[in-house]
Chain A
Amino acid sequence: MTDTIQLAHGAGGRMSARLMDEVVRPILGNPVLDRMHDGAVLDTGGKIAFTTDSYVVAPRFFPGGSIGRLAVCGTVNDLAVSGAEAKYLSLALILEEGLAVGELVRVLKDVRTAADEAGVSVVTGDTKVVGHGSCDGIYINTAGIGEMMAGADIAPRNIRPGMEVIVSGFLGDHAATITAARHGLKLPETIQSDAAPLNGLVREMLRAVPEIACLRDPTRGGAAATLNELADQSGTGVLLDEEAIPVRPEVESVCELLGFEPLYLANEGKLIAFVPAEKTEALLEAMRAHPCGKEARRVGVVTDKAPGQVAMKTGLGGIRVVDMPTGSLVPRIC
Chain B
Amino acid sequence: MGTDKELSLRLLEEIKRLTAGRERPMRLMEVCGTHTVSIFRAGLRQLLPPEVELVSGPGCPVCVTPDGYMDAAIAYAGMGDVIVATFGDMLKVPGSASSLAEAAARGGDVRIVYSPLDALAIAKEHPNKKVVFLAVGFETTAPTAAAAVLAAAQESVENFFLLPAQKLVPPAIRALLADEDARIDGFLLPGHVAVVTGSETFSFLPKEYRLPGVVAGFSPTELLRGIYRLVWQAAAGEAHIENEYKSVVRPEGNPAAQTMMKQVCETCTAEWRGLGEIPSSGLRLRDAYRRFDFSAMRPLDLPPAPPKKSGCRCGEVLRGKISPRECKLFGKACAPEHAAGPCMVSAEGVCAAWHKYGGGVFRYD
Contact = CB atoms under 8 A, between A and B. Distances in A.
Contacts of B201: none
Given A311-B364, A323-B357, A318 B46 contact: yes
Contacts of B362: 306, 311, 319-321
Contacts of A317: 9, 43, 47
Nearest to B352: A326
Interface string B83-110: 0000000001000000000000000000
Given A259-B347, A306-B364, A318 B43 contact: yes
Interface in A298-315: 303, 305-306, 309, 311, 313-315
Contact of A316 (B3, B336, B357): B3
A305 B362 CA distance: 11
A230 interface: no
A32 B363 CA distance: 58
Interface residues of A, number: 20
B180 interface: no
A314 B42 CA distance: 6
A323 B356 CA distance: 5
Contact of B41 (A239, A303, A306, A320): A320
Nearest to B347: A259
Interface residues of B, number: 29
B337 A326 contact: yes
A323 B3 CA distance: 22
A12 interface: no
Nearest to B336: A326
Interface in B318-365: 335-337, 347, 355-360, 362-365
B347 A311 contact: no
B238 to A, nearest CB: 27
A306 B92 CA distance: 30
A318 B336 contact: no
Contacts of A45: none
Contacts of B8: 316
A319 B364 contact: yes
Contacts of A327: 92, 336-337
A239 B47 CA distance: 17
Contacts of A311: 358, 362, 364
A319 B357 CA distance: 9
Contacts of A309: 358
A320 B337 CA distance: 20
A316 B355 contact: no
Q: Identify which of A261, A303, A313, A319 gathers the most chain B CB atoms within 10 Å of its CB.
A: A319
Q: Identify which of A306, A320, A323, A327 gathers the most chain B CB atoms within 10 Å of its CB.
A: A320
A259 B358 CA distance: 19
A306 B335 CA distance: 19
Contact of A315 (B5, B337, B347): B5
B359 to A, nearest CB: 8
Contacts of B45: 318
Contacts of A321: 356-359, 362
B220 interface: yes
A327 B40 CA distance: 20
A314 B41 contact: yes
Q: Identify which of B43, B47, B336, B357 gathers the most chain A CB atoms within 10 Å of its CB.
A: B43
A316 B220 CA distance: 9
A320 B47 CA distance: 11
Q: Identify which of B8, B46, B364, B365 gathers the most chain A CB atoms within 10 Å of its CB.
A: B364
Nearest to A314: B43
Q: Identify which of B5, B337, B356 gathers the most chain A CB atoms within 10 Å of its CB.
A: B356
A318 B359 CA distance: 12
A303 B44 CA distance: 23
Interface in A190-236: none
Nearest to B43: A318
A321 B359 CA distance: 8
Nearest to A312: B43
Contacts of A239: 364
A182 to B, nearest CB: 12
Given A259-B347, A327-B337, A319 B46 contact: yes
Contacts of B44: 316, 318
Given A321-B356, A321-B357, A316 B40 contact: no
Nearest to A237: B364
A309 B337 CA distance: 18
Contacts of B46: 318-319
27 contacts: A239-B364, A259-B347, A306-B362, A306-B364, A311-B362, A313-B364, A314-B41, A314-B220, A315-B42, A316-B42, A318-B42, A318-B45, A319-B43, A319-B46, A319-B363, A320-B40, A320-B41, A320-B43, A320-B358, A320-B360, A320-B362, A321-B356, A321-B362, A323-B355, A326-B336, A326-B337, A327-B92
Given A311-B362, A316-B47, 9 more contacts: A316-B3, A316-B5, A316-B8, A317-B43, A318-B45, A319-B362, A320-B41, A326-B335, A327-B92
- Shortest 7 CB-CB contacts between residues of A and residues of B: A318-B43, A321-B358, A326-B336, A314-B43, A320-B357, A320-B43, A323-B356
Interface of A: 239, 259, 261, 303, 305-306, 309, 311, 313-321, 323, 326-327
